[in-house]
Amino acid sequence: MDAMGEQFLAAASVAGRVCVGLVFLLAAAQKASHWRILSGVIANYRLLPRQMVAPAASLLPPVEMIAAILLLSALAMPWAALVSIALLAVFAAAMAVNLLRGRGTIDCGCGQSFLTQTLSWTLVARNAVLAALLLPSLVPTGPLALSAALTGVGAGLAFFLLYLLLNALAALPRPEARGHRFA
């Protein structure tokens, strides 16, 4: 790979880690601040045995926080991206299983209590896109140029803001849900 391609890959790696790191940071903070209801949200998925729900609820916020810190740190190792991809895949699989069971009306538990969202294939796809943003982090690159690092941070922040915007739009009530119809 030429130097320009390697710097592009390095910038894409930084962008993915910044975006997903901020997503996990926000999710962990929200789940920790609403820890009393987290067990119920996890139990609603009906995937874990009852005795595993409380430990899962206790472990999830710290695991997401550690993943966020590792992704956002300058020393992020490829295994941090792998763990984060695995977490996103588990979340997507849990949503997909419930959607296939016809249980799309439960809260996704994505950690944004002010944006209650029910399960949807869009959320499954969102997690897949977030996981895909981390794929460049699995490819070894040489030293990171300052320009590539700054470009990556800027792109990662832009992706995160887009993530927040799309989540807010997805959480808005649909007109047909309120009894309105478009002509």
What was the pLDDT predicted at 183? 46
pLDDT for position 182 = 47
CA angle 98, 67, 4 (to 5 degrees): 105
Residue 34, pLDDT score: 83
Phi-psi category of residue 179: left, alpha or beta, with phi > 0 → left and psi -120 to 50 → alpha = left
The distance in angstroms from the start CA to the end CA of the chain is: 54
How far is 131 from 147, CA to CA, in rounded Å?
24
The pLDDT value recorded for residue 5 is: 84
> Mean pLDDT over all residues of the chain?
88
Model-level pTM?
Answer: 0.88
How far from 65 is each of 6, 68, 80, 84, 162, CA to CA, in Å? 29, 5, 12, 11, 21
Residue 110, pLDDT score:
77
pLDDT digits 0-9 by tens, 125-155: 999 999 999 999 998 877 888 999 999 999 9
- Let me know: does 48 contact 42? Beta carbons within 8 Å: yes
For the chain, 183 residues long, give each residue's pLDDT as a single digit of tens. Answer: 688 888 999 999 999 999 999 999 999 999 888 888 889 999 999 999 999 999 999 999 999 999 999 999 976 678 899 999 999 999 999 999 999 999 988 888 876 555 578 889 999 999 999 999 999 999 887 788 899 999 999 999 999 999 999 888 877 776 664 554 444
